[in-house]
Amino acid sequence: MSKLDIERLKAIVGPNNVKHDPADLYVYGSDSSVHRAAPDAVVRPGETSEVQALLRYANENLIPIIPRGSGSGMCGQVVPIHGGIVLDMKRMNRILEINLADVYCRVEPGVIDDDLNKALKPHGVFYPATPASSRIATIGGEIANNASGVRSVKYGATRESVLAMKVVLANGDLITLGARTRVEATGYQLERLFVGSEGTLGVIVEATLSFVPIPTFRAMGMVLFDSLDDAGDAIGAVMGKGVALSMLELVDSVAIKAVNNAMDLGLPDVEAILLIEADGMVKEAVDHELEAARVLCEKHGGTLTQLSYDPKERAKIFLGRKKLFPALSMYSDSMVSTALADDMAVPYSKMAETASKIHEIAERNGVVMTAYGHCGSGCMHTKILMDTSKKKSWEGARQAVKEIYEYVHSVGGTTSAEHGIGLSKASAFKREKADSIPIMKAVKAAFDPNNILNPGKLFDAPDDWVTATDLRYVASK
C-alpha cells in the first residue's frame, strides 16, 4: 500500500469531507462488533463520480477501501483490518424516485431505512426487509449484509426486495446490474451476488428496490408455553402447515428474565413465549391465519393470550421482544452484552433444540447466553454476556462460539441469518462453506484483482476472531 495522498482525496471530495486525525480514525475503526482497527483516512463521497475517482486512485495505489454505512454491523464488516480508506457513504442519501405504477423506488446507498419508509408511507406502501436497526441502518449496509428483520417470515430478506443496482468496481468502472422489472432471466443475477457481499466486490452507489402495500389489518398475540420443546414443536407445526404469519418470534426463559429484571415489563414467567402476528388487506384472512396458528400451538401445549388488532396493544405486546436487546446490556453490573454467535439460522424442527443447546454450551463455558429470534425464518439470535475484563471470559466465549457453530452446522443450519460474517464469524463460515470458498475467491478476484475492496474479510479473515484485531474491550485480569 502506498502512502496516502490526503490532498488528492480532498481534491476529489472536497476538503470538508476528508478526516485523518487520530481521533476520527479511532472512532471510524469501530462498529457494533467486538473488533477495532483504525483506517488511514475517512472520506465522504457525495456523488458517483467521486466514488469512481476514489476507487481509481485506490486501485492504482493498492489502498484498501472499506465502504461504511452507519457502522451498526455486529461482526466487524467495516473494521479496516488492513487500514486504508473508510468510505462513509451517508452523504449519498437521496431518494431518487418512487414509481408506484412500476412498483419500485431508486435510492442512494446512504438513505436510512426508516427515512425510506417515511417517504413511502404516504403512498400506502412500505419497504419490508427492515432490520431492528432501521432507524440508523443505511440501505447500502442492509444490501451488503442481506439484512432482514422480524417480518422476514412473510416478506423475506433484503435479497427479495433488490431488483437492480449501480455499482462502482475496484477499477472505477460504473456498471448496472439487474433490471427494474419484477422478473428477469437475462444472464447471471449479479445484483444478487452483491447482496451479502459485505463490500468486497464493489461499492453500491444506487439501488432499485421493490415495495409492497401496507396491510390494512394487523393483529398480534402471545402464546405461552411451559416447555421450550413444546414451543419448538409448535414452530415446526405452524410453518409446516404453511400458516401465513407476518411474525413468529421466540423468547426463551432466560430472555424473559433478562427483560423483566432490566425493565420490569411483567412478561409472563413461563419457559417460552411465541409472538405471533398476521397481516393482510382483509380482516377475515388475518383471522384465518391466526386461528390456524392458535389451533396448532394449543395442540402443542401453548395458550394464546392478548390477541389484539389495536396498534397500542400490539406495541405493548411486542415491547418485551423489542426491549430484549437493550435489556441484555443491562443484565448485570459485571457483565457486558457482546455481539458474538448472534444470528445463526437452523431448520424449524431444530429451533427448540438449538435454544437448549445454546444454554448448555454457555453454562459449560462460564458465560451467559440467551436464545430468541425470528424463528419463523429459522433465525436464532443470541448474545454472549460476560465480564469482558477477564481473559478467562474470552477463552470461554471462544470455546462457546466454536461449539455452537459445530452444533448448528451438524443440524443443517447456517452460520449467519442476517448479520453477515465480517471478522467474528469468519472461522465458522470457512468451515461451513469449505467446498465453495475457492469459487468465492475466484469471483472476488474477477471483480477486484488487486484485493482493495474490504480486504481481510469473509474467507480472507483470520481464523481466530479473538486475536483477529484489537478488541474494543481491555481484558486485563
Partner 1 sequence: MEFERLKKWEYKLNACIRCGYCYEFCPVYRSTRWETDSPRGKLILLSGLLHGEIEASDETTDKVFSCLYCKQCEGVCSSGIPFTEILSDARADLVDLGIDPTGTISYNESSHCAMCLSCVRACPHEARVLDENRVVIDPTACQSCGICLDVCPSINTRLGKEFDAGPEMLQKQAVEFLSAAEKPAAKAIVFACNWSNVPGLVTSQIDSSMQQPDPEYKVLVTACAGRLPARVILSALEHNAWGVLVNGCPEDECEHHGSREAAKRVAAVQKLLGEVGVNPRRVQYMELSRGDPQTFERKVNEFMDEIRKLGPPFQHGDQP
Piece in contact with partner 1 (CB under 8 A), picked from 15-23, 159-167, 271-279, 413-421: 15-23
Q: Is 467 in the site for partner 1 (CB under 8 A)?
A: no
Cell of residue 77, nine digits: 464488516
Q: Is 72 in the site for partner 1 (CB under 8 A)?
A: yes
The least distance separating partner 1 from the CB of residue 64, rounded to whole angstroms, comes to 19
Q: Cβ closer to partner 1: 278 or 324? A: 324
The full DSSP string for 67-88 is EESSS--SS-TT--TT--EEEE
Note whether 192 and 158 are within 8 A (CB).
Answer: no
Q: Cβ closer to partner 1: 94 or 441? A: 94
Q: Is 115 in the site for partner 1 (CB under 8 A)?
A: yes
Which residues inside 77-96 make contact with partner 1, applying CB under 8 A?
88, 90-91, 93-96
Q: Cβ closer to partner 1: 44 or 321? A: 44
What is the biggest distance separating any 2 CA atoms in the chain, rounded to whole angstroms?
69
Q: Cβ closer to partner 1: 130 or 354? A: 130
Q: What are the CA-CA distances from residue 374 to residues 38, 215, 279, 378 (Å)?
A: 34, 20, 16, 6
Q: Return left, alpha or beta for 440; rule: phi > 0 is left, psi -120 to 50 is alpha, else beta.
A: alpha
The least distance separating partner 1 from the CB of residue 131, rounded to whole angstroms, comes to 11
Q: Cβ closer to partner 1: 93 or 227? A: 93
Q: What is the distance between the alpha carbons of residues 387 and 367, in angstroms, rounded to a whole number?
A: 9
Q: Is 240 exposed, middle or buried (0-12, 13-18, 19+ CB in 10 A)?
A: exposed
Q: Which of 5, 7, 8, 26 binds partner 1 (CB under 8 A)?
A: 26
Per DSSP, helices labelled H in 272-332 are 283-299, 311-322, 324-329
Q: Is 225 in the site for partner 1 (CB under 8 A)?
A: no
Q: Which of 388, 393, 416, 427 binds partner 1 (CB under 8 A)?
A: 388
Q: Cβ closer to partner 1: 24 or 271? A: 24
Q: Cβ closer to partner 1: 200 or 337? A: 337
The least distance separating partner 1 from the CB of residue 205, rounded to whole angstroms, comes to 14
Which residues inside 240-279 make contact with partner 1, applying CB under 8 A?
none
Q: What is the distance between the alpha carbons of residues 131 and 74, in angstroms, rounded to a whole number?
A: 13
Q: Is 110 in the site for partner 1 (CB under 8 A)?
A: yes
Q: What are the CA-CA distances from residue 126 to residues 116, 132, 278, 339 (Å)?
A: 8, 15, 16, 29
> For residue 469, what are the contacts with CB-CB under 8 A and spacing of at least 6?
35, 36, 37, 76, 79, 81, 423
| Partners of 68 in beta bridges | 88
Q: Is 101 in the site for partner 1 (CB under 8 A)?
A: no
Which residues inside 185-204 make contact with partner 1, applying CB under 8 A?
none
Q: Which of 59, 77, 133, 424 binds partner 1 (CB under 8 A)?
A: 133
Q: What is the distance between the alpha carbons of residues 341 and 425, in angstroms, rounded to a whole number?
A: 7
The least distance separating partner 1 from the CB of residue 199, rounded to whole angstroms, comes to 17
Cell of residue 420, nine digits: 453477515
The least distance separating partner 1 from the CB of residue 385, rounded to whole angstroms, comes to 11
Q: Cβ closer to partner 1: 123 or 299? A: 123
Counting residues that bind partner 1 (by CB under 8 A) gives 52
Residue type, 396: G
Binding mask 312-351 for partner 1 (x = CB under 8 A): -------------xx--xx--xx-xx-x------------
Measured from the Cβ of residue 321, the count of other Cβ atoms closer than 10 Å reads 23
The full DSSP string for 405-445 is HHHHHHTT-BS-SSS--TTTTHHHHHHHTTTTHHHHHHHHH
Q: Which of 1, 14, 30, 460 binds partner 1 (CB under 8 A)?
A: 30
Rule CB under 8 A: which residues touch partner 1? 19, 21-24, 26-28, 30-32, 42, 44, 70-72, 88, 90-91, 93-98, 107, 110-112, 114-116, 118-119, 133, 135-136, 325-326, 329-330, 333-334, 336-337, 339, 388-389, 470, 472-474
